[in-house]
Structure 1
Amino acid sequence: MKFFIAAATLLLSVTVARADEPSASLSDWGSVGLLQTPTARMAPDGTMSGGLTGLGDLHRHVAIAVQALPWLEVTARNSVYPGYFGLTEPGLDVKLRLRAEDGDGPALVVGGRDVTGSGLDLPGKGRFAGEYVALSRRWWDFDLSLGLGWGTLGEAGHFRNPLRFLGGRFRRDRDPSWWPSVRGPRAWFTGERVALFGGVEWHTPIPDLSLKIETTGDTLRGQRQDQPGFTAGSRYNVGLAYRPFSWVDLGAGFEQGRRAMLRLSLRFDPAEQADRDGRSPPPVGPRPSPETALPADEIVTVARAHGLPARAARIDDGTATLWLDPAGRSTLPLAREVGHAARLLADLAPPDAERLRIVTGAAGLDGAALTLLRRDLERATRHRGSVDELWRTAGVAPTDGPPPSWRPRLDFGARVAAEFDLAELGTPLAVRTHTDLLLSGEPAPGWVLGGGLRINTGDQLALLDTNALPVAEPVRSDLPRYTLHPVSVEHLHASWLARPADGLTTRVTVGYPEEMFAGVGAEALYQPLTARWAAGLDLNRVWKRRPSALFAVLPDSDRLTGHASLYWESPGAATTSALRLGRYLGGDWGGTIEVTRRFAGGVALSAQATWTEGPDGGQSRFGGRMDWGMALSVPLNASGWLPVGGTAETAVRTLGRDAGQRLRHPLPLYDTRVPGGFGRLAGTWSTLLD
C-alpha cells in the first residue's frame, strides 16, 4: 500500500521532467500496457498490431489491436486456458483516453476487457472481464502507471466499490462461476470490491528496449474455481519489451513468481511504414505562345503520362478545363492531385487561358469544379504566393457540365485480403484468405459494369461455431459452402448512376453485388456542395446465390433489405463517421456505427459495430446479436504480377454470423462520389503546391 501512496503522490504532482516520449509497448493482452495491467498510454494514431502471447501452462492470447482514433484503442482477443471443456474466451477490449499528459497532470484513461459480453452465456464465461481507470506519467525514461480495477482486475479487493452508493448490482460479488455470467454492459464497474494495480516501465539506454515491473489486482479466481489445487502465485511481474524493427514488438517476462511469458507482435504504423507517392509536381514555365500551346487532346495525353487520371480537356472562352476521373484512387491527397493538374494546364494551355478549371469526380459523376486564376498559380509556384491566397481567389462549383467527349474506360485492379475471426468459442483463431481480381468498365455516360473473380487461397472456416447448429434460413452462417471452390465469381453487376439535381446522386444496380447474394437495388445520396454531412437511402431485393452454381440462386430465398444512412466528415476530411438504421439481410432491424480514417499514402483504417434484434430464422445463438469488425487497407505499388490499383487488406471481424449483416455492394455511392468532392479537396488544400 505504501507503493500506491507514493505512486499517487508522484502522478498528481504539478511539475514533471520528461524526455522525448518513446513509443508505447504492448502488454500480454495485445493492447498497450505493462504486462498483465493496462496503462494510460496509447499507440500512434492508426496503428494496427497483432500477435500471440503464451504464459507458461496457463494462458494463450491471440489479439489484434487498433488505435482507431487518437483517443480510442480497440482490441479483439481470444484466449485459451486449461480446464474449461476446450472452450476459448473471446473478448473485445476498449480503452478511452479522457486526458492527455501535460505539465498540469497525468494521462487519464477508462477502459475494460470483454466489454460486450457477447457469445454463449455459460457459467465461467467472462472470467477475464473487468473495468479500470488508470493514470500514467513520465519522468525522464521512467513511465509510472497506477490504476483502480473492477471485476477480474479488482479481485485483490483492497477497497469497497466506490460506486456502492448506487445500490443493487454494484454491491454484489462478481463471481465468474455464477449463472448468468457477470459481464457485458450490465456488469460494468459492478462488484463488491475493487483493487489497485500499477507499475513502472524503464526505457533503457538501449534503443527500443524497456524493463517493466508491476503489481496486479488479479488473483486468478476463475482458474482456481476450474482447477482445484491451482495456486495463483505472486501478484508481482517483471518483464522486457523490445522492438528490433519498427514492425516487430517482442516481450518476455517472469510472472506470478513461477511462469515464463513470451510474446510476439507485429505492428503497422501508417506514419512509419506507409508508402508515399514521391512524384514531383510538374514544372510551370513561361506561358507558351499560341503556336506552341498544346490542344486539349494532347494535354490529356501529357496528364496521363504524369500519372493523373485525366479523362478529357477543353479550352474555350479563356478557360482551360481538365476532368480528373476517378479522383481519389491514387495515393496522392486530392488537393495535391488537383495542384499537379493545374500546373500542367498553366504550363501547356494557350496564353489567353486566364482561368484553370479542374473537375474532380469518379465513375462519371462530377464531385467539384475548382477554378484557379492562372496568374495567382504562377506566382505561387515561384514562391510569391501561398495556398491560402489561392483559396481566397479560387471558385468552387458543383459541376462544369459533362466532358466534351466520352471515352470508354476500363480499370483493372487486385485485392489481397486476410480476414481473422477472434470471436469463436471452439477455436482461438479462424482465418480466411483470398485474392480478388477486379474489372470495372464505363462504356457510356452513367453506366458502370463491374466484375470480380475471387481466388480462395485458404481458410479455417470449418472451425466456425455456427457449424455446430445449422439453421434453416442462414444469412452468412453457411459461409464455408461458398469457399469450397478455388475460384468463384465474387461480384458481377451493371449500375446506372445519375445526378438529377445539385447535391443529389442516384444509383440503380442489377446483378451479383457480392459472393452470397444476387438481386436488384437502388440508392440515393444527398450532400450539398460545401456540407460536411450527407444523407443516404438504399433499398435492395436480393436472393441467396447457390454455392455450387456459377449464376443460379436458391428458390424462395428472396429478402428485402435497406438502410437510411447519415454521414459526417471531420473538418480535415480525414475521418468519416456513419450511422445506419434499417433492416438487415436476416430480416432483423437495428443500427450500425462506422468510422473510417484516411492517412498519408492512401492507407485507410475502418471499424464498425452493429446491434440488432437478431434474425428470426437465422443463427443468433453463437455470437449474440452484435456484429463488429476492423479493417486496414494499404495500397500496393504496381509490380510484374499485380496491376495498378491493388490493395492489401487485413481485417478482424466476425465471420459466418447471421445477425446484423448488410449487403456488401461494390459501388456504394458515398465511397464513390465523396473522394472527389469538396470536403476532401478543402481538407487537403495545404498540399496543393506540394
Structure 2
Amino acid sequence: MSQCAPFVALILSGTVDKSAAEDLVGISNYGVPGHVDMPSGFALPDGTVAVSANAVDIDIQRGAVAFQVTPRLTGLFRYSYLGRYIPPDGSLYDRSFDVRYLIAREDRDGWIPAVSVGLQDFGGTGIFGAEYIAASKHFGEDVTATLGIGWGRFGTHNGFDNPLGIINESFEHRPGFTGIEDTGRVAFDRFFRGDAAIFFGADWRPIEPLRLSFEYSSDAMTQERPMGLRYAMPFNIGAQYRFRRGGTLGVSLLSGSTLGVNYGFTLDPFDPPSHSGREPGPPAIGPGTAEPASAWQPVPGADRRAALGSAFAEQGLVLEGIRVEGDTAVIDMGNGRWGAAAQAHGRAAAILSARLPRRISIFRLRSHVAGMPVTEVTLTRADLEDLEHALDGSWQSYARAGISDAVVSSGTGQWDPAAGLWIYPYVSPFFFDPDNPLRADAGIAVGGDWSPARGFHLTGEVRAKVVGNLDEADRPSNSTLPHVRSDAWLYARESSFFLPHLTADYYWRPGEALYAHASAGLLERMFGGVSGEVLWAPPGQRVAVGMDLSYVRQRDYDGGFGFQDYDTVTGFVSTYYDFGDGFRGQMDVGRYLAKDWGSTFAVTRHFNNGFEFGAFFTLTDVSFDDFGEGSFDKGIGLSVPLSWMTGKPSRNRMNFQFRPILRDGGAQLALRDRLYYMTRPERQEELAARWGRFWR
C-alpha cells in the first residue's frame, strides 16, 4: 500500500493501548471508533492517538490519524487514494478531516449507551462527507452493539426524509459538491441535510485477541461503484486480530463482494513503550568536603572548576560559571540531556552538595538557554539532606525552593568559548503531492555551532543528498500569489548539496520577564535576511506575548549564497496562553511571506512526559479562490520526545506534521528558535509542572 506510505514511520514507531482492546473499542476503516465501515458511539481513551491504514480492492486505500483531544472530543486527519476515480483512468489523492463529540458516556451497569455525534470529511473534497449520531452499548465483557442514524454518505442506502425537516425545510435538501474550488472549505450548508438512513453494527470477542464485526451499512458506496467496486448487499463483516506486543491486523468483506485489509495501532501518551528510569540514578546528596570555603572564593581555580565541570558533564549538564560569596554558591548551568528541567536542577544540587565545602550551604542554580539566564532556583544544603529520602520529598523540596526570574539577580559573569560539531543522517519528507503522496530525500547533514561570547552563536549546516525523489516533482505552481512556498520542489531539483541555514544569532535578556533574539544570514531553506524577536513571559503566568519582525529575500534554488529578486517584510504579534490541563493556545497576527495579512490559530495538548499533539489553521485577506486548492492553510502536528520512545533521557524529539496542501497564502518564515518554545522548559511554569522529577 505505497499510497499510505506517509503513515509508515508512525506505524513502525508505535505502541498499543491495551485498554482499547479490553473495552472492545474497535477502529473502523475510516479511522474512527467503529465496527467495519460504520462508526460507533464510543470514544478512545483520553489522549490516545490511533493510526490506521487499510486497502479495499486495489483502488481504494486510506490512512488516518485520530486523536482523542479531550475525553469527549475526537479529531482525525485522513489521506485516501482512489484509483480510476477520475475518468477514464485518473486517480485522486484526497485529504479530509473529521471531528466527533461524545454527547453521553456509557453507563456500563445501567441502560444509558455511549452517544456520539460526528462530522466526517467536513473540510475536504466532501467525497467521504457524512454526519451521524451513533449510540453504542456493551453487553457483558465481550459484545458491543451500535445503532445510528446517518446523513450524506451514511444516508444513501434505504434513505428516508430527513427528520430534521420538522425544524426547518432547509434540512430536506443537501447541496452537491460544486468543484475543486470548494476543497478545504467547511461545508456548513451540507451538515445534517438531505436524506437520512439507519445503520447498526455489533462486535464480538470470542477469544481475547480476536474481534469479529458485523454491520448493516447505510452507505450505498455510490462514489466507489464507477471505479468498479461491486455492491451486492448492505452488509459488511470483519475480523481483527490484536498482536501481543501491539498492533492490529484485520480483514473485511464489504458489500458481500469486496475484500479489504487493515492495520492499526494506538499510541497512549500515558503508557510509553519504554518507561522512564533507564538512566543511571542521580548522585547521592553528600556532606560536602572539609576544605575551607575561602579556597573557592570568589572564583575557584582552574583545577577545581574543571573537576566540577567534569562532574556536571557526566550528568548531561554544562557548568557555564561558578562564583562563591560567603556561604552561597552561584552556578550558571546549561541542560543538555534532561527533558524535565527539574531533573537537571536536582542532579546539579546533588553534585554541589558532595563536591563543595561543607560551609557552602546555599546553592543558587541559574539555568541558561543559548546563553540567556532564564530561571534561578535557590536550594539549601540542609533541605537537600532533610528531604532526600522523604516520602513527599518532591513536594516539600518545591515548597522550600526559592524560584525567581534569573535576570533579577546577578550571575557569575563567566563564559568559556564553546563549540560543537554534529553529523547525522537526515530525512526530508514532503507529503501529499497530488502526483505522489510521499516524496522524500535522505542524506548526510554536517552542522556546527560556535559561541565566542555569552549569547552569541554562529550556527550553520550543510546537507548532501544521497537518495530521494523530491527532485522528480514537476508540477508547476498555478498560484496567483508570490511563490513563497509553492515552488519548494524547485529547490530540491536544482541542488543535492546545499546550506539549509547559516546564521549569526544573539540572545539576551533586556529586562525582567523579557527575552530577545536577533538573527542574520540564511534563515531557512528558501529565505535569508535579518530577523528580530522579543518575548514578554512573566514567571508563573498563563499568558506570554511575543513580537517578531523580519526583512527577507528569497534564496536561489541551488541552496548557496545567492538570492532572487523577491523580498518582503514579515512579522507578527504572537499571544500564547496556557488554558490549564495541558492545553496551550497560540495566536499570531501579522503579515505573511506573500504579503498577505491575517491570523494563525493553534491549540496544542501537552503531556507532562513531553508528548504533544496540536492543530492549527490560518485565515488571511487572501480569498479562498486566490489561495487555490485547500482554500486556507491548516494542519495537525504530533511531537514525540525520544525519551518517551526509548525510556532514556534526551531532549531530542520526533516531529510529524500533516498539512493537506502547501500553498503560498498564510506562509510563515520557518524560524528555527522561537523564544517561547526555547525558554518554556526552563521557565517557572514548566519547572513547577514537572518538579516531581527533581529527585530522579
TM range (shorter): 0.7 to 0.9
Separation in 1 of the partners of 2:499 and 2:585? 31
1:266-289 deviations in Å (ceiling 9; x for gaps): 655543325735221211233432
2:95 to 90, 98, 111: 90
**Residue 650, structure 1, aligned to residue 656, structure 2:** yes
Aligned partner of 1:132: which letter? Answer: Y
- What is the match of residue 272 of structure 2? 272
Paired residue for 1:314?
Answer: 323
Tell me whether 1:660 sits opposite 2:660 in the alignment: no
Q: C-alpha separation between the residues in 2 aligned to 1:43 and 1:432?
A: 35
User: Match for residue 260 of structure 2?
Assistant: 261
Deviations 1:195-246 (A, max 9, x none): 2333222334233x3222222221123345x46x975332221112223254
1:567 corresponds to 2:556: no
308-317 or 583-592: which moved more?
308-317
Q: Is the 8 A contact 1:154 1:217 kept in 2?
A: yes
Distance 1:588 1:181, change over 3 A: closer
What is the TM-score of this pair, normalised by structure 1?
Answer: 0.85
SS of equivalent residue, structure 2 residue 387? helix
Please say if residues 453 and 488 of structure 1, whose CA atoms lie closer than 8 Å, have aligned partners that are also in contact: yes
Q: What is the distance in 2 between the residues matched to 1:514 and 1:388?
A: 43
From 542, 548, 560, give the equivalent of 1:550: 560
Residue 623 of structure 1: aligned partner = 630
What residue identity is the alignment partner of 1:252?
Answer: V
Deviations 1:638-677 (A, max 9, x none): 99xxx98655443322454212211111111111111211
1:77 alignment partner AA: Y
Counterpart-to-counterpart distance in 1, 2:160 and 2:444: 54
Query: How far apart are residue 365 of structure 1 and its match?
Result: 1.4
User: Which one of the candidate residues 670, 673, 677 is aligned to 1:671?
Assistant: 677
Q: Is the 8 A contact 2:442 2:466 kept in 1?
A: yes
Structure 1's 288 and 670: CA in aligned 2 closer, same or farther, altered over 3 A? same
In the aligned structure 2, how far is the partner of 1:128 from the partner of 1:291?
76
Which residue matches 1:15? none
Q: What are the Cα deviations for residues 426-466 of structure 1, in whole angstroms up to 9, with x where unaligned?
A: 44545555665443332212212221223445555568695
Which residue of structure 1 lines up, in the alignment, with residue 540 of structure 2? 530
Structure 1 segment 569-588 matched on structure 2, within 5 A: 569-571=578-580, 574-588=582-596
Choose 176-185 or 359-368, whichever is displaced more.
176-185
CA displacement at 1:363 relative to structure 2: 0.7
**Which deviates more from structure 2 when the two are superposed, residues 454-463 or residues 621-630?**
454-463
SS at 2:577 equivalent: strand
Contact kept, 8 Å, 2:85 with 2:91, in 1: the verdict is no
Q: Is the 8 A contact 1:79 1:90 kept in 2?
A: no
- Measure the CA separation in 1 of the matches of 2:101 and 2:322: 49
CA deviation vs aligned residue, 1:536-584 (integer Å, no higher than 9, x gap): 11111111100125111102x0012111111123546x54321212221
Q: What is the identity, as a one-letter code, of the residue corresponding to 1:689?
A: W
SS at match of 1:222: coil
2:247 is aligned to: 248
**Counterpart in 2 of 1:131?**
131
Deviation string 1:260-317 (CA, Å, 9 cap, x unpaired) is 1112346555433257352212112334323699866233321211222432333323
1:356 alignment partner in structure 2: 363
Measured after TM superposition, the shift of residue 678 of structure 1 is: 0.6
Once residues 438 and 665 of structure 1 are traced to their aligned partners in structure 2, the CA distance between those partners, rounded to angstroms, is 17
Alignment of 1:52-131 (within 5 A): 52-56=53-57, 59-67=60-68, 71-85=73-87, 86-88=90-92, 89-101=94-106, 105-117=112-124, 125-131=125-131
Answer yes or no: is the 8 Å Cα contact 1:416–1:649 preserved in 2: no
8 A contact 2:611–2:644 mirrored in 1:
no
Give me the whole-angstrom Cα distance separating, in 1, the residues matched to 2:441 and 2:115: 38
In structure 2, the CA distance between the partners of 1:259 and 1:373, relative to structure 1 (3 Å rule), is same
Quick check: 1:212 aligned with 2:213? yes
2:143 matched residue in structure 1: 142
Q: Who is 1:38 aligned against?
A: 39
Q: Where do 5+ consecutive residues of structure 2 fail to align?
A: 1-18
2: CA distance between counterparts of 1:439 and 1:615?
42
Conservation of the 8 A alpha-carbon contact between 1:518 and 1:542:
yes
Asked whether the 8 Å contact 1:491–1:515 carries over to 2, the reply is yes
CA contact (8 A) 1:419 1:431 kept: yes
Cα RMSD after superposing both structures:
3.5
Which letter does structure 2 place at the counterpart of 1:651? Q
Instruction: Give the residue type in structure 2 aligned to 1:149.
Output: G
Q: Give 2:551's aligned amino acid.
A: R
Retained in 1: the 8 A contact 2:345–2:694?
yes
Aligned twin of 2:419:
410
Question: Percent identity, aligned pairs only?
Answer: 26
TM-score, normalised to structure 2, is 0.84
In 2, distance between residues paired with 1:463 and 1:94?
35
Confirm or deny: 8 A CA contact 2:546 2:575 kept in the other structure: yes
How far residue 352 of structure 1 moved from its aligned partner, in angstroms, is: 2.2
CA contact (8 A) 1:585 1:660 kept: yes
**Greater displacement, 340-349 / 629-638:** 629-638
Alignment check: 8 A CA contact 1:177 1:222 kept: no
> 2: CA distance between counterparts of 1:219 and 1:472?
41
> Contact 1:23 / 1:43 at 8 angstroms: preserved in 2?
no
Q: What is the SS of the residue equivalent to 1:467?
A: coil
For structure 1, the residue ranges without an aligned partner over 5 or more in a row are 1-17, 118-124
Q: Select 2:379's aligned residue among 372, 377, 381.
A: 372
Name 1:539's counterpart in structure 2. Answer: 549
Instruction: Show the counterpart of 1:301.
Output: 310
Distance in 2 of aligned mates of 1:283 and 1:568: 38
How far did 1:140 drift? 1.2
The alpha carbon displacement at 1:50 in A equals 4.6
User: CA separation in 1, counterparts of 2:635 and 2:194?
Assistant: 31
User: 1:571 and 1:409 mapped to 2: Cα distance?
Assistant: 38
1:195 is matched with 197
Aligned partner letter, 2:144: D
CA distance in 2, matches of 1:493, 1:92: 38
Preserved CA contact (<8 Å) 1:19 1:141: no
Contact 2:41–2:135 (8 Å) recurs in 1: yes
- 2:633/2:662 contact within 8 Å kept: no
Please tell me the residue identity of whatever aligns with 2:486. S
Q: Does 1:383 align with 2:387?
A: no
5 Å-filtered alignment, 1:342-491, equals: 342-383=349-390, 386-399=393-406, 400-413=409-422, 414=424, 416-417=426-427, 419=429, 421-422=431-432, 424-431=433-440, 436-456=445-465, 458-461=467-470, 467=476, 469=478, 473-484=482-493, 485-491=495-501
Q: Matched residues in 2 for 1:456 and 1:688: separation?
A: 42
Q: Which residue of 2 aligns with 1:518?
A: 528
Change (3 A) 1:19 1:611: closer
Q: 1:682 to 1:25 in 2, by over 3 A?
A: same
Q: Contact (CA 8 Å) 1:277, 1:601: kept in 2 or not?
A: no
- Name the aligned partner's letter for residue 691 of structure 2: W
CA distance in 2, matches of 1:676, 1:449: 23
Change (3 A) 1:612 1:170: farther
Cα separation, partners in 2 of 1:38 and 1:433, compared to 1, 3 Å: farther
